[in-house]
Amino acid sequence: MLLRWTIAALVLLMLLSAGCLVDPDPTLYTLTMETIGGGNTDPPADTHQIKEGTTVYLSAEDVAEQWVFDHWRGNVADTEARETTIVMDQDQAVESVFTYQEGAYFHVTVEVSPTEGTWDDSIEVAITVENIGVEPDTQWIDFSVDYEEGDPPEGLLPPFEMHLAPGESEQEVIDQSIPEHLDPGTYILTAESSDHADSASFRLHGETVLNPVKETFIATRPDTEIAEALWSEYWADPEEPTAHSYLLFDLDSLPSGVEIISAKLFLYAETVEVIDGDIGAFQVLEPWSGQTSWEDRPDAAEDPVDAWSIAVAPGETQWLQWDVLPVVNRWLEGTAENHGFKIGYVSADDFFGAAFTGTGSEAVEYHPKLVLQYATGD
């Protein structure tokens, strides 16, 4: 038995010494390879997942007489050698630059930031143009926009002219607002010189603003009639009234087959009678009517979907908002029934009170609203 354990221990020691025990969960870093100009590399232009600490061997190969390897960009050991190495101690990006030997060559790179948004956003389009040829030149950089779901829009980005010496590069940055008439979907923005073109995509989300189809507030002591306002109130003293507001939104107007990426509930607080307190949006679990009494009030989830901390002087007004995406998605997926939201206190030291503008107010811009942003299925 002792001999058997001795042999097992020796085998384990040999494996450890030889590094044969494989890490079951190694750290991986991304190596991004890109080629500028005409040429090939090993590893090829792509993204590669490589184990931490690995030394990667890189090589560049000319594929045509007019294209000659010039240099590497990145944390490589030798930027001028055709064959070099890079250590994967972090995510690494490497560019291999090939020079065009027959005149000028304007290489174009397009970047869009952000890559997705709504009509309220603007995008920044950065166009980098580099002359990787051997002669100076002047060229126009033109733009086109391709809309994957239909006819492309026109005139979003103006063309511009560039003069570049060999090895010189310039960047043009354009801030572009998004026209409201554009349909949701993916837009491909392309910049093109006489020699080369590059593209980047922007995904435009749709947005729907819904007003409640039903609203009310329910109090322990119904001494106030519903008029233009909703009300949520809490008193530490049980003899004082407590009130909750209820709102229901109809989701049937949403386009079919869309992905909801943001759902926010907004209420405008006309009066806030508390210095500090948290007010929450709770999922309502039962049907209710506008004439529901406190005793017959519908059940709601114990925990809020989201809570908003109020820290303003009494009498100040402000928009309150809650992120209700998880509940809206459950409604749309059919895993929960849509009975709306309850707005009520989450925590308050002594007294909490807030009056919200309701749909009966003539100030339409302050009506309660559920703002949904969605992405079309590309």
The per-residue pLDDT for range 7-64, each reduced to its tens digit, is 555 555 555 554 545 567 889 999 999 999 889 999 999 999 999 999 999 999 988 8
62 touches 69 (CB < 8 A) = yes
pLDDT of residue 228: 44
280 touches 306 (CB < 8 A) = yes
How far apart, in whole angstroms, are the C-alpha atoms of residue 85 and residue 83?
7
Tokens found for residue 115: 């890559």
How far apart, in whole angstroms, are the C-alpha atoms of residue 103 and residue 112?
30
244 touches 344 (CB < 8 A) = yes
pLDDT of residue 236: 43
How far apart, in whole angstroms, are the C-alpha atoms of residue 277 and residue 275?
7
348 touches 308 (CB < 8 A) = no
Cα angle 143-145-146, degrees, rounded to a multiple of 5: 140
Interval 72-100: pLDDT, tens: 999 999 999 999 999 999 999 999 999 99
Tokens found for residue 110: 């397009």
Mean pLDDT of 260-287: 82
pLDDT greater than 50 at residue 235: no
Closest to 290 measured CA to CA, from 222, 227, 221, 215? 215
pLDDT greater than 90 at residue 275: no
260 touches 328 (CB < 8 A) = yes
Contacts of 156-159 spanning 24+ positions with Cβ under 8 A: 156/189, 157/125, 157/189
CB atoms within 10 A of CB 95: 17
pLDDT greater than 50 at residue 225: no
How far apart, in whole angstroms, are the C-alpha atoms of residue 98 and residue 107?
11
* pTM of this structure: 0.65
**Structural domains in the chain plus CATH codes:** 27-100 (3.10.20), 107-204 (2.60.40.10), 208-375 (2.60.120)
Backbone angles phi, psi at 237, to 5 degrees: -75, 120
